[in-house]
Structure 1
Amino acid sequence: MLLQVQNLRTFYKNAAIIDDINFHVKKGEIFSIVGESGSGKTLTGLSIINLLPDYFRVTGRLIFKNTDILALDSSQIRKIRGKEISCIFQDPMVSLNPVLKAGYQVAEMFIYHFNMSEKEAIKRTEQIFNELKIAHIINNYPHQLSGGMRQRVMIAMAIACEPELIIADEPTTALDVTVQEEILDLLYFLIKEKEKAMILITHDMNILGEYADRMMVMYAGRIMEMGDVEEIFKNPLHPYTRALLDCMPVEGKKIEGIPGSVPDLKNLPQGCVFYPRCKYKGKECRVEPPSLREVAPGHLVRCFLH
């Protein structure tokens, strides 16, 4: 097992905004976290790589290659971050250094983690930029690039050291549809052919069906459903999962949408967190939160209906 997340809880001012998160990721696997904006997907990813501000507190165990990375200090985690676990951030404009050229920002990865000379690092960076078809922007600054090009630079940084695990937070949001497929195919090749792993954070259910192996549906910082993508697509059990799948465009079918909005993670409703928006709610849903149960091998759901 490459990564085991055990009882992960992320606190903000004593409020558990991410609660009771348990999952694992194997080598060669693409594990996806899906849900609406505000569901806690990005917070979960940032909790894993210790990139949250100091006013957040993370508890639990994060076992990466037999080491609890949550117990490491900042200097130790920096040696892992980028080299063994990397991240593709959602907003490349605020993630890239505005005063450094795009190529040099990738080259820094080789200089820091492999003690390469600047000349060697630039040469390796040129190879990666060629693979991503962005060789012509190697000497450009971030403000000179389009959103799609900036995102490709972020992806270049993420794959530079061929890390064991990539946390990809909406990696193709800023890209055109045709380019999205190229980038996802490239990441898919890296994961499958080189026995790496990826946590894919997204709200695009179509991407899941094509690229992910297993998925975790999050809502209000909690796991609603988890299992194989194919199984959940065929047999979604949680009302929230069904609602997300119903939002996928299908020819001849009207998209209903989900009424209401995701609650404030710091002020959750009593009982089931999805209760206010659920079509199938019962009296017990308002009183106490349901527990996460395994209803079939590898298929877990948090709902009183199952």
Structure 2
Amino acid sequence: MNDIQAVFDQGAEWMPWLMDSAMSLAIGLIIFFVGKFIAAKISGWCEKRLLKSSVDKAVAGFASSILYALMFAGVVLMALGQIGVETTSFIAILGAAGLAVGLALQGSLSNFASGVLIILLRPFRSGDFVDAGGQMGTVNRIELFHTYLITPDNRVIIVPNSAIMNGAIVNFSRESTRRLDLVVGISYDADIRLAKQIMEEIVEADERILKDPVCVIAVAELADSSVNFNLRPWVASADYWTVRADLLEKIKYAFDERGVGIPYPQMDVHLHKQES
């Protein structure tokens, strides 16, 4: 009987501690989840405000990502402090652990550093069509570790920032104008002057082709089976692909109508009768 009474007495002594611990844990969890929710809302609100202030979409997304990460780290420390974890010692432990993790995650840290460089140097902006990291697409968003590209067929490509900064970046949208580099071949028995005149007429009739710089049309090569012309008009960057397709189509139709032959690969087969 005395043993049972002792157990109840010990339980009574532990009960306040358990209640306090449970209350601290509950408050810590509330701080964590509510703080995380508020951090997400604030970072989203800041991104919207930056976009309304005509800040580039990629910069706004990157800034909001950093803001969310900092706020989330603060929320975690507050929750741990409420539970009873000594945050000062915890921060020191995190610093030591961070060094070890940093060595293990050099690739991720490289992506982060590259993301910062992309934002600072701005080799491209949101909406630019680029060839970066071995991928081509329109820049949609730059985040802490990755850049999101959207391809013309509406695929999303997630490219590590380090892969972008460690390679060549081709920005097709940076300049307002681009030059088309077309090679047009005609057969050797075709009239070179007529072919050149036809291409000049087509270029002159297309209002999307710029007058300055002047379009270059010149014989480039006397190839094995064709006389090759270089056709190099200048167009607005937004018109590049449509003008390219239209020029090739119009040249084909005009050459057919006016008797200018376009060579294609042919194979001659010679049969020899063998006497038995």
Report if TM-score (shorter chain) is over 0.5.
no
Identify, as 1 or 2, the structure richer in strand.
1
Greater C-alpha radius of gyration:
2
Higher RCO (C-alpha under 8 Å, 6+ residues apart) = 1
TM-score (norm 1): 0.21
